[in-house]
Structure 1
Amino acid sequence: MKRLFLIALPWFVFVLTGVALAEDTEATFELPVGTMTLQAPQDTEYKATLSPVTFPHSLHFSYSCQECHHTWDGNSPIKSCGTSGCHENFWAPKPGQADVSDNNIKSMVGAFHQVCRDCHRNEADQQKAAGSKNIVTGPVACTGCHPDPHSKVVNSDESLSIPMGIITIEAPEEVEATRGPVGFPHGLHLKFACKECHHDWDGESEVEPCDACHSETEPAGTRSIKDEANQMYFLAAYHNNCLTCHRDINRKRRAAMAQEDINKADIPKATPLNCSGCHSSS
């Protein structure tokens, strides 16, 4: 008899408050942090034979939310993977049976294994290709996620309020700024991993402002933002992080536009590179 694999049904929903409009700086959503237990629903046709999965949600904040929540628009509440019209069929059909899903969407079991296990495998392959001797990634074997004996059910009830609207970034008070503040659309950047910008964040503590670390108000080396001596200089930190990412996106945009059969929806939007594109006039 073929062994049935346990895959979990997410218990959480991200809660959004307000609407992420350009003028709305108070819109937030609650991001669950810590650990959650993913387990099979009780009313499935077949009984699960493997234990629930203890999923460390916070350890995955180095990835974009949309790596897993792939249909999320970045604004609406995040729905359960088993929502009607998504991966609502928990088990895959038996051999010879037609897929009961009208739009041929993978079963919950298949979707979780593809997203989690295949991602772990791909990471291991990339590290091996780069010549790494110490492979650091998530488990691939069944018992790596489904331990025996069964692990305890652990669901953290902690969350962080994440701003969805515009965050105004201003120079420190002691600096006489020559340009206006930056209206940063935080909600539009949720398609990127949190740690792309908050690179020292542990995934659970309150996120500190960038100038809590990059607190130097004068360059330590030359005036160049590329000078390694200026890593803690607030101006260099912002410009290096933002402009480097924007240039990369614009390169991808040009490459996409050069393709003849590209879907317009798949073309990245242009990002600002000049001063007036980010800094207000006041």
Structure 2
Amino acid sequence: MSRFSTVTLSLCALLLGASLAPAAPQAPGDLRLGPPEGIKASKALVGFSHARHGAADVLCVTCHHTWDGKSEIQSCAAPGCHDQPGKKGETAFYTAFHAKNSDRSCVGCHKPLKKAGKAVPVSCGQCHEK
């Protein structure tokens, strides 16, 4: 087999393999974050921009920490994730967004960014706008 044929076959195999690779998930645009079914919101729902977080190089698995990289990404409010009422415990809906010592929660991620001079929301009213 000639060198040209080997290179051509290798290139074709590479292109075919790349076309069979799973595509990255398409994140929804702007949305309103609210509690799971059965839990009443005590404050206004929170606006969230996937595009803004993606532009800041926040990876999907940062927030969707149980995602395997292949299956459909589930909402934090999905059954079995953060679907419990109250303010304590790993599965509490409140915890997913407000845990101060977790780089997976909004507050836990935004506080250090704010301290570093970034313009990110950190107070209740900045996220739960009326």
Q: Which deviations, in whole Å up to 9, do the C-alpha atoms of 1:114-135 show, x marking residues without a partner?
A: xxxxxxxxxxxxxxxxxxxxxx
The aligned residue for residue 280 of structure 1 is: 129
Counterpart residue type for residue 169 of structure 1: L
Bigger Cα displacement from structure 2, 173-182 vs 184-193: 173-182
The aligned residue for residue 237 of structure 1 is: 96
Counterpart residue type for residue 185 of structure 1: S
The aligned residue for residue 81 of structure 1 is: none
- Give the deviation of 1:157 after TM superposition: 5.6
Counterparts of 1:111-122 in structure 2, within 5 Å, are none
1:207 to 68, 73, 96: 73
RMSD of aligned residue pairs (Cα, Å)? 2.4
The aligned residue for residue 127 of structure 1 is: none
Instruction: Provide TM-score, normalisation by structure 1.
Output: 0.35
The aligned residue for residue 186 of structure 1 is: 50
Secondary structure in structure 2 of the residue aligned to 1:188? helix
Q: Which deviations, in whole Å up to 9, do the C-alpha atoms of 1:196-231 show, x marking residues without a partner?
A: 111111112110001221111235xxxxx5xxxx01
- Give the deviation of 1:173 after TM superposition: 3.4
Q: What percent identity do the matched residue pairs reach? A: 33
Counterpart residue type for residue 236 of structure 1: T
Secondary structure in structure 1 of the residue aligned to 2:126? helix
- Give the deviation of 1:277 after TM superposition: 0.5
Take 1:157 and 1:175, find their aligned partners in 2: how far apart are those partners? Answer: 39
Take 1:215 and 1:171, find their aligned partners in 2: how far apart are those partners? Answer: 8
Equivalent pairs counted in the alignment come to 110
Q: What runs of 5+ residues in structure 1 fail to find an aligned partner?
A: 1-41, 43-47, 53-151, 220-224, 254-268
Give 1 or 2 for the bigger CA radius of gyration.
Answer: 1
1:196 to 59, 62, 81: 62
Counterparts of 1:55-204 in structure 2, within 5 Å, are 152-153=13-14, 154-155=17-18, 156=20, 158-159=22-23, 160-163=25-28, 165-190=29-54, 191-204=57-70
Q: Which deviations, in whole Å up to 9, do the C-alpha atoms of 1:167-209 show, x marking residues without a partner?
A: 1111233223221100111110002111111111111211000
Take 1:237 and 1:196, find their aligned partners in 2: how far apart are those partners? Answer: 11
